[in-house]
Structure 1
Amino acid sequence: MQSEYTTTKSIANMPTSTDTQFDILLYGATSFVGKIMINYLANLPQDGFPWAIAGRDEQKLIALKTKHNLASLPHFVADASNEAALTALSEKTKVIISTVGPYALYGETLVRVCAKTGTDYCDLTGEPQWIKAMLDKYEDDAKASGARIINSAGFDSIPSDLGVYLSQHLAIEKTGLPAEHIKMRVRKIKGGASGGTIASMLNVMKEVGENPKLRKMLVNPYILCGADNPFHVRQKNHKSAEFDKELGIWTMPFVMAAINERIVHRSNLLLNGKYGKTFKYDEAMSSKTASTAWITTLGLGAFVGAASFSPLRHILANYILPKPGEGPSPSEQENGMYDMRFYATLSNGEKQVVQVTGDRDPGYGSTAKMLSQVALCLSQDVPELEGGFWTPAAGLGDKLMERLKLHAGVVVSEMH
């Protein structure tokens, strides 16, 4: 479909460098998801997209190249805090992919470099407080340099962002008006967590404990929309198990809602309020029984409670939960999947359902493919997109949906 949401990029904001060697440079190649991405990128058709890898440990980079029979793949060494080294990397490539999390601890220098040098950037952060900090500090720089920066370009938050994007496109196409309320329900999901994701979650808990004001900030659904945003409608927050009478299903909290909902509302801002100023959006997981919904809710509550208490958080991180670099096995990645539904009642009373499905475990197998395709979309498909901090839907929209369907096993479609 041809989107009415297209934004054009002025020639004045185009990056000035024309001597880049690579379309893509993967920074954090030795991370858990970075290793999966190397295998994925190495097996894509290589016509027209030269790429390279980088990280802080050269021996690990060389070992990865040997494992994947990629002896000729260029590699570079740079520490996440070394601004000069990261600047040198940025000058070699059109797009830098960062998998170095928790981003609140290790991500800022690279974002600053890309924003100032005009290098496109994407990551898979699920840390809204960090994204807000980066927006506050570097959005003006990115707009001036022409750098297109896209956060949350993995399972959080591409399926949610594109699911709502298509839902609203269809609603406007059918009725001339957007849907006022969309409910996302995770109908099926299968996959494991990695140490990197858990480390990011625990770091958010640590930051909240050290800064009580952050808690209030994090519950704001419009945290990524700026202080002067036009949205003020109260949004539903799923805190416990409950029965959804409209859909006829039990629901329970979805841990990714905290980032996904905020990315969706930022997309609405970037798309000039196409979803409506009174748009409501909420996410939850569905359950076949009340008992499962309540057991899952209580388990999640116990985890959050423990992670909020410093001594218990230390025990969880060091003795119980997966550590950074650990995660789902190859078979778990291969056999994972997800099925997400986006329910809307249109202005004419019609019920509409959009489905997003993925063919690998959400956090790693599918995320690796999605993040890679975001980088390729930035480098190859959207020369007209102007500099700034974008969301996947607002910045890449239709072109990304088509890429994900063709190359990443992620399908966004209307259910009939």
Structure 2
Amino acid sequence: MADPFSLGGFIPKVDRNGFKMVDIQQGTGLVTAKTREEDRDSNMTKVTEDKKLGVWRAPYVHSFFDTRIVRRSNMLLADLANQPYGLTFNFMEYAMLPPESVAAARRSEGSEEMAKPYGQYGMTLEDEEAMMKSEGKEFKEGEGPNLEDMTDAWSGFFLYAESQHGSQVKCSFVGSDGYFETSRVAVETALTLRFDREKLPCKGGVLTPSVAGSTSLVERLIESGVKFKMGDWMAGGDLAPPSMK
């Protein structure tokens, strides 16, 4: 697997006495700090059951990219604002499997082979590509579906955080189709940087959207239609795209 901290934010593995654990290369004496087991990409390559949250999860197609962005955000918030997400911050990302996929997931649990990544349609990318091809919805670079074809599609992020001392919190975002939401985030980020600059805690640099836009970006996203719930995950009728009007 590649370096999970390739964009920065490395948090070393420490022993019970608080000392950093390192590897020393024989012959050269090169010292390299060890990566914590919980940060390794291999944790996101299998289908597993999260018994604490009561969900089944699978590899997500964007997880290797997203996790590095979030770790960079933690680093930037520490360096620029002295307010990191956490000094021992760990972040993982998975695809939450829909109920109809759980039976197949149970059969593959425990396999040592890397599972196929899932996309935004609750199925593997291979199955998604086959479905799109059968429906005549293959898009070339720069193309995408018509707006009217996205009215019943939704995407969601279900977040869970737990502190070292056991405090827990949940929140969730639900938006429209991934194509639509990617555009929304790009536009609202630009508007935030243009019109909310005086309120932004970090100005300038190679920043991530969350660091650059801070709470102003979140407020704009919610005001533009993204559904947000603090304290729990959305369920039932809330799992539907927001109005595009």
Assess same fold via TM > 0.5. yes
Q: Aligned residue for 2:232? A: 415
Q: How many residues align?
A: 181
Structure 1 residue 376 corresponds to structure 2 residue 159? no
Structure 1 position 374, deviation (Å): 0.3
Q: Kindly report structure 1 stretches of 4+ aligned residues shifted beyond 6 Å.
A: none
Q: Does 1:281 align with 2:91?
A: yes
Give the 5 Å matches for 1:7-406.
Answer: 219-225=2-8, 229-231=10-12, 232-234=35-37, 235-236=39-40, 237-272=43-78, 274-287=84-97, 288=99, 289-293=101-105, 297-298=115-116, 321-358=138-175, 360-362=176-178, 364-383=179-198, 385-406=202-223
The residue number in structure 1 matching 2:26 is: none
Cα gap change, 1:410/1:373 in structure 2, threshold over 3 Å: closer, same or farther?
farther
- TM-score norm. by structure 2 comes to 0.63
Contact 1:404 1:411 in 2 (8 A): no
Deviation at 1:346, TM superposition (A): 3.2
More helix by share: 1
Q: Percent identity?
A: 27
The Cα of 1:409 is off from its aligned counterpart by 2.3
CA drift at 1:331: 2.3
Q: CA RMSD in A?
A: 3.2
In the other structure, the counterpart of 1:150 is none
Greater relative contact order: 1 or 2 (C-alpha under 8 angstroms, separation 6 or more)?
1
Structure 1 match to 2:236: none
- Structure 1 Cα separation of the partners of residues 116 and 189 of structure 2: 36
- CA change 1:299–1:262 in 2 (3 A) is closer
Letter of the aligned partner of 1:220 in structure 2? D
How far, CA to CA, are the matches of 2:169 and 2:125 in structure 1? 35
Query: Aligned partners of 1:382, 1:225: CA distance in 2, in Å?
Result: 25
Gaps of 5+ in 2: 13-34, 109-114, 119-123, 127-132, 234-245
Please give the alpha-carbon distance, in whole angstroms, between the structure 2 residues aligned to 1:257 and 1:299.
Answer: 9
- Distance in 1, Cα, partners of 2:125 & 2:222: 35
Question: Contact conserved, 1:373 with 1:408, CA < 8 A, in 2?
Answer: no
The one-letter code sitting in structure 2 at the alignment partner of 1:353 is K
What is the CA-CA distance between 1:407 and the residue it aligns to? 1.6
TM-score (norm. length: structure 1):
0.39
Query: 1:178 maps to what in 2?
Result: none
Structure 1 residue 388: deviation in Å?
0.6
Residue 345 of structure 1 deviates from its aligned partner by: 2.7
1:335 and 1:264 map into 2 onto residues whose CA distance is 29
Amino acid at match of 1:244: D
The one-letter amino acid of 1:361's match is D
